[in-house]
């Protein structure tokens, strides 16, 4: 091959290339372990603060009380916030020219996004493990069989995967990390609190309760509570998704992924084509 010829495209599989990029993200975390604070220190603080501050004033008539009610909700919030991490990381890579360097290599362009997806799911899974161990330490327990318990975790990881596309979409559309922080905080924070994550919805005004119970985060939280035996009797007038939380959660995961993934990929391609 002469120096004027283009190099041959690497025949390595998309999976192999994606794992290589995910490994690069893991090495980055290894060199900057403070990047794990959002899935290690922060969840422990949240679990302890909510369990002992809110738990002293909110009575939940289930075995384990408010602590059993809390853990599925705080896990749902954490996986929802995985979109925040993806958006910030992708925007930082775009700003620094790292994505351009990767695109100059003979790799599949999709590997950049797939690799980040792999590392993000692993990142969120660490948070779930940390919160589970913290919950066990303060008295939270799963009261169902192992299959239902695992299905609860599968729904949480599936939701984290769908949230990755939110992060890629926002990270590709925004031009700075500061803009990403503003947009993600202004959207994800109210969405995760305007739900049944930390308090029952039956005490809310009727219009607000309707919004909260149709919030996809509420379906996820209720589904995990049911699968783990941490649910309580629904109050009269509960919205339809609260009575069928598992199929609704699966439907939301599929719908969000199918809708946002193509849009996020298109936005990323447009951004990197500039």
Using the predicted structure, report yes or no on whether residue 6 has a pLDDT greater than 50: no
Q: What is the pLDDT of residues 120-165, one digit of tens each?
A: 888 888 889 999 999 999 999 999 999 999 999 999 999 999 998 9
Flag the least confident range among 11-20, 74-83, 118-127, 234-243: 11-20
How confident is the model at residue 226, as a pLDDT? Answer: 96
Q: What is the DSSP string of the chain?
A: --TTSPPPPP---HHHHHHHHHHHHHHHHHH-GGGGGGGTHHHHHHHHHIIIIITTT----STTHHHHHHHHHHHHHHHHTHHHHHHHHHHHHHHHTHHHHHHTSSS-THHHHHHHHHHHHHHHHHHHHHHHHHHHHHT----S-HHHHHHHHHHHHHHHHHHHHHHHHHHHH-SSHHHHHHHHHHHHHHHHHSSSSSS-STTS-HHHHHHHHHSHHHHHHHHHHHHHT---PPPTT--HHHHSHHHHHHHHHHHHHHHHHHHHHHHHHHHHT-
């Amino acid at each position: 091959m002469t120096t004027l010829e283009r190099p041959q495209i690497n025949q390595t599989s998309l999976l192999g290339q994606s794992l290589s990029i995910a490994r690069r993200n893991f090495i980055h975390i290894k060199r900057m372990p403070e990047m794990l604070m959002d899935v290690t220190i922060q969840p422990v603080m949240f679990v302890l603060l909510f369990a002992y501050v809110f738990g002293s004033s909110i009575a939940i008539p289930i075995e384990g009380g408010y602590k059993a009610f809390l853990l599925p909700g705080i896990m749902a919030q954490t996986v929802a916030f995985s979109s925040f991490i993806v958006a910030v990381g992708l925007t930082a890579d775009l700003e620094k020219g790292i994505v351009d360097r990767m695109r100059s290599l003979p790799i599949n362009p999709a590997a950049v996004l797939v690799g980040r997806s792999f590392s993000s799911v692993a990142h969120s899974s660490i948070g779930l493990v940390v919160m589970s161990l913290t919950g066990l330490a303060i008295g939270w327990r799963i009261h169902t069989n192992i299959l239902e318990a695992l299905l609860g975790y599968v729904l949480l990881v599936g939701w984290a995967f769908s949230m990755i596309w939110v992060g890629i979409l926002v990270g590709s559309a925004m031009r700075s990390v500061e803009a990403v922080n503003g947009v993600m905080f202004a959207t994800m924070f109210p969405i995760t609190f305007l739900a049944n994550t930390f308090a029952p919805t039956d005490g809310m005004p009727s219009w607000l309760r309707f919004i909260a119970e149709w919030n996809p985060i509420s379906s996820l939280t209720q589904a995990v509570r049911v699968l783990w035996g941490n649910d309580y009797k629904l109050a009269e007038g509960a919205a339809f998704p609260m009575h069928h939380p598992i199929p609704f959660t699966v439907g939301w995961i599929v719908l969000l992924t199918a809708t946002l993934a193509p849009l996020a990929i298109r936005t990323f391609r447009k951004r990197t084509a500039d």
